[in-house]
Structure 1
Amino acid sequence: MHLRSYFTVLSCLAFLMSCQKSSDTDPTVSMTGQPAKRAYVAVNESSGEPVQCSVIKDESFIVGHETVRLGRSKGLPASANFAMFVSPLAVNTDGAPTSYHPHDFLGKSLAINRIDNGIAIRKNSSLTLTEKISAFEKWRDSGWTAPAGYSVSWQNVIAQDDAGRPCVFASGPNKGYFGSLTALKNGLLGAVAGECQVANQLDQRFIPAIVLRGDTNPLKGFGARTGDLVVALNPASGKSVAAVIGDTGDGDRIGEGSVALNMALLGKTLQPKTYADALKLDTGHTDMVVAVLPGTATYNRVRPYTTANIAERVNSWAKEQGYGSTAGLARVAQACGTGL
């Protein structure tokens, strides 16, 4: 069975729901004042209550070939809009202090990520992996001076020390690792932020988050920004998880979740210790439903971010907007995913 057809079946079964397309157009008015394009109806068979999604607009993420959909529960105001997509989720480790280690380029024994996933090593001509490793080691061993003919870009992923060089933990449980950054910060400065600014980052081993990737990502056109709230759903298990947009990046992948998010969605509890372990937290060919709540970055914000305060904020927003709860919001997002 084709993956998208498989998802459509799952979107009806995960909550014991049956789905149908209600009409080609829906009377609900969009943000632009135009009628919503269409509506999907799901019926919760345990309660008999309909769960209806009004689709306001679809946009294509051309580079990654995904569709991003703006929708909301039928009858709710535009303030209840969410921007959602259906996609597998790769795993993101940035912000975890064990992400990158200068003596474990491939993440085989110490780090949970590869150096070349966080540090760009370039030359005029294409490089083999062996050449990348050699250039990196020369850069490392020279005190962070790039070898002749090479460029090394690290500033957006690796923390800086006071001298503007890559920050390597000198003590404590993370001794020897690079400090790793996230776009979303905990609002901590100075000594409180800790060595390599570690406490000011989202440790994505423990904070559920997604990555907002790509300059042309339609999520941005629908108002999504770093720090906005998110609800993610595994339609196969019915597990929903509250999260935030915790990081940004380029590239053509729309679906990328933190270690904590993917672990929760997949029902796993064992933290990765190597890159191979982290790769097992990719959802592979299994689609997840992800709904972003645009404009919620400062809604009831509490920092430092924790799993608990993120979950409380998402649930409060869902209640205020008429979804009842995070689970109710997830059910509507699932209905909205019909056909994606």
Structure 2
Amino acid sequence: MRGLKTTLLLVTLLGLGGCQSDDPAKDMMADYYQRLGNVLDAPTPDFTTPAVPPLPRKRDLVQPLEALRMGVLDAYELRQCGLFNLIAERNSSLGKVADRFRQLDYELNFIDTAQRCLPQVKDPSIHTELEQALALKRQQRDTVIWNTLADSDAWRGQLSLPAYTLPIDLPAHSNAVSTIDQFSHLLNHHPVANESVTDWQESIEKQRILGALFVSLSYHTAWLNQTSALIANHQEKVLCGGNFDTTRLERLQTVFYKFYVGDVQPYLARVDGLYRDIAPALTRFATLQTPDAFSAYKNAYWQGEAYRQYKDAIKHHADVWQQLFQRCDVKLGQ
């Protein structure tokens, strides 16, 4: 009998563990929504996950590049200034299979090295050919950056939209935020000081925050709007003033202060703060010329439409609460 009890206890504990969600923020919002429904004695329809623009496939995003051909690579001046060795390394067996970050690193190094080489070239024909090569590389620079964003495993992992939202207690993301910001400054033609862009790859790959941030904006916007509608559509059930029973109003105040002000609002503010930290980099990314397939994603997350909707939803939710409390002459904070 004792063994049977132990087995039943173990099964019970495993069952409880299995019920735990892997997305505590969603659970928090759902709990807040359900508590409001209980107090208002109102139906709480199941939440419909909002449609979000997915990150398109690589093949729909990668842009072609014009091949560079130089017939004077063995010229003495190009050997002396390092351009010959740079191109030879790129054309080696390892260089030909380099990933997107190493390809970008090469392109940036080519531009920097060619700019330094040009004044040293005395032969007019070599000078002209190098000028043309440099002009092409400068012209394609942003496309190479875009292809790194669109096609590298590190950036795909960063930009892909997961099924989960940001955790309630946001971990420190300072290294990832700093790295993303540094990468975005390439679009301002800032030089990479004393380091290679490949040095940023690990941080971008391992600290994945952008996708979860974007999902959080869209998901929590929809939750807030549905929760706001629940309050607005059932306000008439809240009696206040005179000789009315104010029990429901008092219970609503408890939900407001304990669950919204105490839990939901601080979390929403942390999500907002993370987006504002990232926003300057996203604004720079949005200056890139991108394929039509990327337009919906770009508008929502790089150009800030999802964030604007998020802020509007937070403000609308606060307004709904304020209207209710004003009607019942409840002073917030008291």
Per the normalisation by structure 1, the TM-score is 0.26
Compare relative contact order (CA 8 Å, sep 6+) and give the higher one, 1 or 2.
2
Per the normalisation by structure 2, the TM-score is 0.27
Q: Which has the higher strand share?
A: 1
